[in-house]
Structure 1
Amino acid sequence: METRRYINVRTWSENWFETLSASEKLVWIYLNTNSSTNMLGVYSMTVRRIAYECHISEPAARRNIKKLEDIKKLIYSDGYIILIDWMAQQAMNPSMRISAQKEYDKLPKEICAQLSEQTHQSIKSIRQDAKQAVSSLPVPDCHIPQEKEEEDENPEKEHEKKALEQEREGMEQNPQMTGQEAKMTEQEPPTSGQQQEPDLPLPLQETLQKAILNKSWLKTLCHNHRLKETEIKEWLEHFCRKLQNEGTERKSIRDFRQHFASWLDIQLNHSNYTKNYRHDNHTSHSAHTESANVNGKLPSDIDSLLQSQASQRIEQLRIEGILPKVSEP
């Protein structure tokens, strides 16, 4: 399914947007519509990637981000983009609101503390709506007698049910519980696979290993570029060394894949251009050399042919009596 982002058309006529330069407007639209955005409006993003995908220099990207921070449109902290009042500007259905809550629960505490009060209130409202939806679900009548029979037969289950009801009542009496506590009570503890999200920055070598382990992604690259898997892995190691030389120590798996795919396209296109250029020059040079050799032999052949034909014609004219014979001295 396609991912879409909403931007109000009134943005173009607002005073703060009119005062921005073309480069600042481009960065603002990019930060609202790039592939890393989510329903919360808070995501990990490097300045290098912003500069790369907007085709501007890194210093220019930093200046544009600083300008947007000065006019209170975003916050850039510890590699995270925080779009202020993002949720208030989006038309969100229930599934989108649940997605925003999940992104909120995954944020580091220091980033979560920098969110606006309106964002915190929106997440709190989402949690309360989810609790009300669960509590309002009807219980079928056909299960009630069976439950009563089970309670009579098994007093341990009845004790567990009472404990759960008391715990639920405690949550309703204290709605201001922290996001972490609500997550522990409402959700099952995450497995090790769920903790490693594709947007979480990891050490570069660990990101490289996880990218190589993704066989479907490697197969797609091999098919699209007509390369072997060993060749793709060599390009990955070369790309990783390039990032290390640039000073990049951590990168998310999603960012690593997208950056590598763009970089590989550029490298392969440049490589094909160089091969074609050299091949064309070699072919042109060979043709030129062959033509020069033919042209070098042509005058001597023509000269001998003309001399032979001229001698035969002169001898014929002498036999016919048209030309006098030359007497020998």
Structure 2
Amino acid sequence: MKLEAVELRRVALPLVSPFRTSFGTETTHDCVLVHVVTDGAEGWAECVAMERPAYSSEYADGACDVLRRWLVPAAQALSDAGELTAEGFAPAVEWVKGHRMAKAALETALLDAQLRIEGRSIGERLGSVKDRVPTGVSVGIMDSVPALLDAVGAYLDAGYLRIKLKIEPGWDVEPVRAVRERFGDILLQVDANTAYGRGDADHLAQLDAFDLLLIEQPLEEEDVPGHALLAQRITTPVCLDESIVSAAAARDAIESGACEIVNIKPGRVGGYLESVRIHDVCVELGKAVWCGGMLETGVGRAPNLALAALPGFTLPGDTSATKRYYHQDITREFFIEDGHVAIPTGPGIGVEPDPDVLRSVTVSSQWLRS
């Protein structure tokens, strides 16, 4: 595969409604799309780095910089040597510390192009075993409990099989209690996005009364030992998100007792190939995994669905329908049917941006040519 050009395209899509978490409120989804042109096919991917370094240390401008200055030139060097493959990209940029979201975006775009040349889908490449996956929905922090109950009711009516509530100090026990009392025995979990500290263990133990599937990332991402201590003091299973950056990190966290469940976000861990390795570690150690989301457009949602169809993904993920976030996406729409979303089956990631829609939401574009 010969690399001819790479486009870094910044887009901004208005969200259906503001999405509030402990690290801020999003009203638009601002992201970087990576578009590669090879001698055999084109490939697309979405970089999930946010506009601000709030979820992680990565952010969109920084991702563009590291792509432009180091990652794309590294891919070009592989191409010039006749050695460019998606599988060979990560080893070639291992010397670049961190920047997993930027690495994931370019690797995925290369993988999309490579699979299109081969006439294979990403589901075939990753090892998907289903043609559709059960879907849950993530509900942001609301202005009031009644507003939260209205939102949850609407999502249940739409067919979502699992509800995830964002929580933070001051918005946790009472909202969760209200949802459980109103809607009964639904699949319910919470996500703290690192909003708590070790001293909050007794407070978080109050959530044990609500029979939650899991509590996701309650403490800072570096505090894996703190999660192990918390897991000994609460009965709600602890799930790690931000702390899991690789298969090695997943093994260490599980073996230390820090988590019972792992949320795999491909961008956070460096791409879909590393995501499969994390999945395999969790299966080996008997732990459940599920696929998280970062408000992705269809370009990012499509391969997430394929990943969520691997056999170890036994919990509904955040692979929601298009209408959960966008009135108009840049790819074809994804629908929820009987609580499930179908996996694209075409070559590569199975979707492509609509040129007219893409043009209308583009903020900037830069081409890097060989």
TM-score range, shorter chain: under 0.3
Which structure's relative contact order is higher, taking Cα pairs within 8 Å and 6+ residues apart?
Answer: 2
Rg larger in structure: 1
More helix by share: 1
TM-score (norm 1): 0.24
TM-score (norm 2): 0.22
More strand by share: 2
